[in-house]
Amino acid sequence: MITVEDIRGVLSKYNKNKLTISTICSHSALQIFHGARSLKFRTLGVTTPDRRFVYEAFPLAKPDIFIEVQGFKDVLRKEVQEKLVEENCVIIPHGSFVEYVGASNILNMLFVPTFGNRTVLLWESDRSKQMEWFREAGLKTPREFKNPSEVDCKVFVKYPGAKGGAGYFTADSAKELEEKIKWTMDKKLIRSIEEVSIQEFVPGVRYYFHFFYSLMLDGGFRVGNGRLELLSMDKRIEPIDEAYRGLPNVPEEFFDYTVTGNQPLILRESLLKDCLDMGARVVLASRRLFPPGIVGPFCLETIYHPSRGFTVFEISARIVAGTNLYPQGSPYTPYLFDEPMSTGKRIALELKKALESDRLEEILY
Ligand code: AMP
């Protein structure tokens, strides 16, 4: 396990005037580099050779320095990490970073300072720990069933570590669920029932809220000793959203929950109080469960129904790809900043403020 003290040791040798914002070239890297560049940070991208041209194709979001690796996991190799340290890099973790490198490898092997509190990865990478976090926060979550025979409503079934919803399915009864689980076991998609998560199917409209918890800025919505900002929101689009196009005989392929893109949206203003309240509860619970708690960007994945309110079904405790919709800010950021503000730039701004006040240690681990 790489400890906070290990990271502080590495950081103490950094040339803080040359702090470099770094990530692997995937997911939200264009946004991260673009935001960092706009605040005059140096940037470094770890890329595979076949992706490099993508980042060169967008000159205003291109990293100043590239490190080429054969696979993203190579970021853990000693010589790559040493190069990142030599360049005074702070790594910004994003969805692909966590997916390719692996939460436990990040916790156990990555000695380069990382933006935010990496302990959060223990909580976000495990569905049952996420639920524990939501319970601690007092949030409404989907009912969960351990045993198919207990099922008394329409259910939504998720595979472990499924990438963006691929293969998820629904069942209308205990009988249908048992049949479908048998089918997935026969196909060797899972080995045992314990591997799937069986949740109540929650009807309603999905909202993905992009929050930022800042320890550096004053004013605004005070939560703990920081400020909680609602930067933007999106809705993920999945083939199931377009199922109506196949009516009246919807082809089976439409019953697919794989995320294929993101759409912008805004929330009815009277619901903002619920949204901000959920964000605040998540931050406060994180401070109790894993002090000093979550730092920086996170996303609450919710379903709203007028008669049920918000149900939270997942959290991403880092920048999410839905923020890529807003490189110049969202319909909410003008109420927080008098300049364009993406989540990528917001991360750079937090680093800049921490540098100016010599408080980097509070936001890196
Ligand atoms: P997830 O991998 O948890 O982000 O879920 C992927 C997609 O599955 C979501 O965007 C929703 O469309 C759907 N989904 C997840 N959980 C539920 C649920 N409990 N009820 C209904 N739909 C869900």
Q: Looking at residue 68, what DSSP letter applies?
A: E
> CATH code at 188?
3.30.1490.20
Q: What is the CATH number of the domain that holds 72?
A: 3.40.50.20
Last residue of a domain, one of 153, 170, 200: 200
Same domain, 88 and 52: yes
- From ligand 1's centre to the CA of 328, what distance in Å? 28
201 CA → ligand 1 middle, Å: 8
Mutate to test the pocket of ligand 1, among 143, 153, 257, 298 (most ligand atoms within 8 A of CB): 257
Which pLDDT does position 162 carry in this prediction?
55
Q: Is residue 317 part of a domain?
A: yes
Contacts of 170 (CB under 8 A, 6+ apart): 154, 155, 156, 157, 201, 255
Do 103 and 154 reside in the same domain of the chain? Answer: no
Give the CATH number of the domain where residue 282 resides: 3.30.470.20
> 360 lies in a domain?
no
Structure tokens that stand for 290 in this block: 């894993």
Asked whether residue 45 falls in the same domain as residue 107, the answer is yes
C-beta of 124 in contact with ligand 1 (< 6 A)? no
Task: For residues 92 and 212, state if they share a domain.
Answer: no
**226, 313: one domain:** yes
Ligand 1 center from residue 158 Cα (angstroms) = 8
Whether 218 and 276 map to the same domain: the answer is: yes
Same domain for 41 and 182, yes or no, is: no
* Pair 327, 209 in one domain: yes
Same domain, 167 and 306: no
Does 14 share its domain with 81? yes
Domain end call among 180, 200, 220: 200
Does residue 357 sit within a domain? no
Check: CB of residue 141 under 8 Å from CB of residue 313.
yes
Instruction: State the total domains in the chain.
Output: 3
Does any ligand 1 atom lie closer than 6 A to the CB of residue 239? no
Q: Indicate if 24 and 149 belong to the same structural domain.
A: no
**Residue 37 belongs to some domain of the structure:** yes
Q: Which residues of the chain have pLDDT under 50?
A: none
How far is residue 31's CA from residue 143's CA, in Å, rounded to a whole number? 36
Answer yes or no: is 333 within a domain. Answer: yes
| pTM, to two decimals | 0.95
- The per-residue pLDDT for 189 is 83
Which residue range(s) make up the domain with 189?
144-200
- HSE at residue 310, side-chain half, CA atoms within 13 A, is 24
Q: Which tokens sit at 119?
A: 């302990």
Last residue of a domain, one of 155, 179, 200: 200
pLDDT (tens digit per residue) in 11-55: 999 999 999 999 999 999 999 999 999 999 999 999 999 999 999
Specify if 347 maps to a domain: no
Distance of alpha carbon 341 from alpha carbon 344, whole angstroms:
8
Is the residue at 345 inside a domain?
no
What's the confidence (pLDDT) of residue 163? 63
Could you tell me whether strands 89-91 and 20-24 are parallel, antiparallel, or unpaired per DSSP bridges? parallel
Q: Give 26 Cα–ligand 1 centroid separation in angstroms.
A: 23
Let me know if residue 352 belongs to a domain: no
Same domain, 77 and 90: yes
